[in-house]
């Protein structure tokens, strides 16, 4: 079992730090402290933190913060970053208006 799945492991209490106010996810304005706290509240994977705090769920879809969030979670858990799965990649890869997303191009063969 890797260390992420071993939820019985004691990672200690949340300890506040001076840079906790720093915004990490620029789109959803999630701070470093919030991410660290989330880990202590049981969110041990990038996906869990994402669902819990919306990191990487804003307009840019984690382009900027993906690696940073992963690094913060890993360091809070005391494990190497490579042990954490990155966030799931999903359609759409770029911001897109729903009206466009829903508009399939008409093709000659009708198999749009």
What residue ranges bind another protein (CB under 8 A)?
Answer: 19-24, 26-27, 29-34, 52, 58-60, 63-65, 67-68, 81-82, 86, 89-96, 99-105, 107, 109, 111-112
- Shortest distance in whole angstroms from residue 6 CB to another protein: 20
Identify the residue whose tokens are 């993906």. 66
Question: Quick one: 1 or 100, whose CB is closer to another protein?
Answer: 100
CB of 1 or CB of 108, closer to another protein? 108
Contact in structure between 69 and 58 (CB atoms under 8 Å)? no
């Amino acid at each position: 079992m890797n260390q992420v799945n071993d939820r019985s492991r004691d990672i200690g209490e949340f300890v506040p730090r001076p840079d906790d106010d720093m915004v990490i996810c620029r789109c959803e304005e999630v701070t470093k402290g919030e991410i660290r706290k989330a880990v202590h509240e049981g969110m041990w994977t990038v996906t869990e933190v994402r669902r819990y705090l919306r990191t990487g769920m804003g307009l840019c879809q984690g382009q900027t913060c993906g690696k940073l969030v992963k690094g913060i979670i890993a360091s809070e858990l005391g494990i190497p970053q490579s042990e954490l799965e990155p966030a799931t990649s999903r359609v759409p890869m770029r911001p897109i208006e729903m009206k466009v997303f829903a508009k399939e191009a008409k093709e000659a063969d009708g198999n749009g």
